[in-house]
């Protein structure tokens, strides 16, 4: 998105009045003009969201793209269960934009589990579990996740994003320190900001820089948390978990790992970054993950000690003041987690595809940045316009892959991001890369 900061031109008073009434209603405008606010002159900000600076920036970059004849690649409508393939605008295409890493979304066994829960409990849990009560399926999912991570307990939330925001903001406060990887997901940064803790990003995957930072500032704070991800979704690389564990022990910190893209992807049996690095997972204090990716559902979870989970269940706003996970979604993810473990060939197929894609991309001279050959490969393009045009050209050739542009990534580091699945055939991967190499 453009960094254009041009201010909108001043509008005539008659237009401003009309806009005020349209966005705020006659009553509010009359009240603002009334005797209660003598001398009140509505600022430009009062005019409504068309005048919002972020909207103005968005409109400017969209208009520029239209002028250049570049179609908007976002919000494409999928008319099928999007997996290794999908249907967009009636066209069957290869799909590299789904987090369905193990090809489980739409699996008849998962669908049947969701339907059974739907018929038994209905579609909604209707209110917070604290007040409206539990459904056994929610507890069963939490127990299965805790067993999977080898933790004492687990809490599931209705959104992965809200899980991070709510967990970080409720566990830490102004006397604490939160150190996160510079490429951490927005939900981690938002949660850290909301907590009021002192927040510092450290260079991506750079545990040596983190060590220097800890030596310098750790003593000034009470509790301290290091937050990393198991598998970084914009680049497809992984941290050296053992080094982060060593630092957390030496400097007396907690360690939180977001496994949104690690579960089902990393490690011989898909157990994630601890299995991938060959280190015990019990040194991680907070395992976080989402239900929306490998687990074919929607929601997030925290697997941790009994104490920490109980604390969250009674205090985290996104748990206490938000509805419990919908029973059909809980059932779907529970069945998906069973299948991750019962069908290890899926993890093997995904890992084979990851390696094949990386090798085949390199053989064609394609720059895959920091990708390590797991389930995510970023093809580095640089210019946002070029990445968007490539995405559109690939779609025209029957290949759906999304451009990732700022602010999701740094300026001039736009890329095409390929999400791979266990369900992709090797020939589909090489075909997509041949098309990409031709277009590049």
Catalog residues that contact ligand PMP under the rule CB under 6 A. 159-161, 164, 185, 187, 229, 233, 258, 260, 290, 292, 300
Pairing type for strands 91-95 and 414-419 reads unpaired
d(CA 69, CA 58): 17
Smallest distance from the beta carbon of 237 to ligand PMP, in angstroms? 13
Query: Of the two residues 129 and 417, which places its CB atom closer to ligand PMP in the complex?
Result: 417
d(CA 324, CA 316): 13
Smallest distance from the beta carbon of 278 to ligand PMP, in angstroms? 22
Any bridge partners for residue 154, and if so which? 303
Query: Of the two residues 138 and 187, which places its CB atom closer to ligand PMP in the complex?
Result: 187
Backbone phi and psi for residue 377, each to the nearest 5 degrees, phi listed first: -130, 120
Query: Of the two residues 159 and 384, which places its CB atom closer to ligand PMP in the complex?
Result: 159
Query: Of the two residues 270 and 300, which places its CB atom closer to ligand PMP in the complex?
Result: 300
* Alpha-carbon separation of residue 100 from 143, 242, 257, 371 (angstroms): 23, 28, 20, 18
State the distance between the two ends of the chain, measured CA to CA, in whole angstroms.
Answer: 22
- The residue at minimum Cβ distance from ligand PMP is 160
Q: Which residues are catalytic?
A: 233, 261, 293
Smallest distance from the beta carbon of 375 to ligand PMP, in angstroms? 12
Dihedral Cα 274, 277, 282, 285, nearest 10 deg: -70
Smallest distance from the beta carbon of 85 to ligand PMP, in angstroms? 21
Query: Of the two residues 291 and 429, which places its CB atom closer to ligand PMP in the complex?
Result: 291
Query: Of the two residues 69 and 407, which places its CB atom closer to ligand PMP in the complex?
Result: 407
Smallest distance from the beta carbon of 98 to ligand PMP, in angstroms? 12
The radius of gyration of the chain from alpha carbons, rounded to an integer in Å, stands at: 24
Task: Report the alpha-carbon angle 156-160-164, nearest 5.
Answer: 90
Helix axes 306-315, 160-171, angle to 10 degrees: 100
d(CA 232, CA 185): 9
Burial class (CB in 10 A: 0-12, 13-18, 19+), 100: buried
Task: Report the alpha-carbon angle 187-189-194, nearest 5.
Answer: 95
Smallest distance from the beta carbon of 160 to ligand PMP, in angstroms? 2
């Amino acid at each position: 998105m453009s960094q254009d900061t041009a201010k909108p031109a001043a509008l005539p008073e008659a237009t401003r009045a009309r806009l005020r009434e349209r966005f705020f209603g006659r009553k509010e405008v009359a009240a603002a003009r009334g005797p209660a606010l003598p001398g009140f002159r509505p600022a430009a900000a009062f005019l409504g969201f068309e005048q919002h600076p972020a909207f103005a920036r968005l409109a400017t970059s969209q208009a520029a793209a239209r002028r250049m004849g570049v179609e908007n690649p976002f919000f494409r409508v999928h008319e099928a269960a999007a997996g290794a393939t999908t249907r967009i605008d009636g066209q069957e295409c290869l799909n590299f934009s789904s987090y369905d890493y193990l090809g489980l979304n739409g699996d008849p066994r998962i669908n049947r589990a969701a339907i059974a829960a739907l018929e038994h409990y209905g579609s909604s849990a209707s209110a917070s579990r604290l007040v409206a009560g539990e459904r056994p399926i929610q507890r069963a999912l939490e127990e299965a996740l805790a067993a999977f991570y080898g933790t004492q307990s687990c809490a599931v939330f209705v959104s992965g994003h809200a899980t991070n925001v709510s967990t970080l903001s409720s566990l830490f406060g102004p006397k604490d320190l939160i150190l996160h990887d510079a490429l951490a997901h927005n939900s981690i940064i938002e949660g850290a900001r909301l907590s009021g803790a002192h927040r510092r990003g450290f260079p991506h995957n750079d545990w040596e820089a983190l060590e220097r930072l800890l030596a310098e500032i750790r003593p000034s704070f009470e509790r301290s948390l290091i937050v990393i991800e198991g598998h970084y979704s914009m680049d497809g690389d992984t941290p050296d978990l053992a080094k982060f564990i060593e630092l957390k022990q030496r400097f007396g910190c907690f360690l939180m790992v977001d496994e949104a893209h690690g579960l089902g992807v990393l490690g011989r049996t898909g157990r994630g970054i601890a299995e991938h690095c060959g280190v015990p997972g019990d040194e991680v204090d907070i395992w976080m993950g989402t239900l929306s990716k490998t687990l074919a559902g929607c929601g997030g979870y925290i697997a941790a000690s009994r104490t920490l989970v109980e604390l969250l269940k009674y205090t985290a706003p996104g748990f206490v003041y938000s509805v419990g996970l919908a029973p059909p979604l809980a059932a779907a993810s529970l069945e998906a987690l069973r299948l991750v473990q019962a069908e290890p060939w899926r993890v093997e197929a995904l890992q084979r595809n990851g390696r094949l894609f990386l090798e085949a991309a390199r053989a064609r001279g394609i720059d895959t940045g920091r990708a390590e050959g797991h389930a995510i490969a970023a093809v580095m393009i640089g210019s946002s316009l070029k990445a968007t045009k490539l995405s559109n050209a690939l779609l025209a050739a029957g290949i759906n892959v999304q451009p990732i542009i700022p602010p999701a990534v740094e300026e001039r580091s736009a890329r095409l991001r390929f999400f791979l699945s266990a369900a992709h055939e090797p020939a589909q991967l090489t075909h997509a890369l041949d098309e990409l190499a031709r277009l590049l």
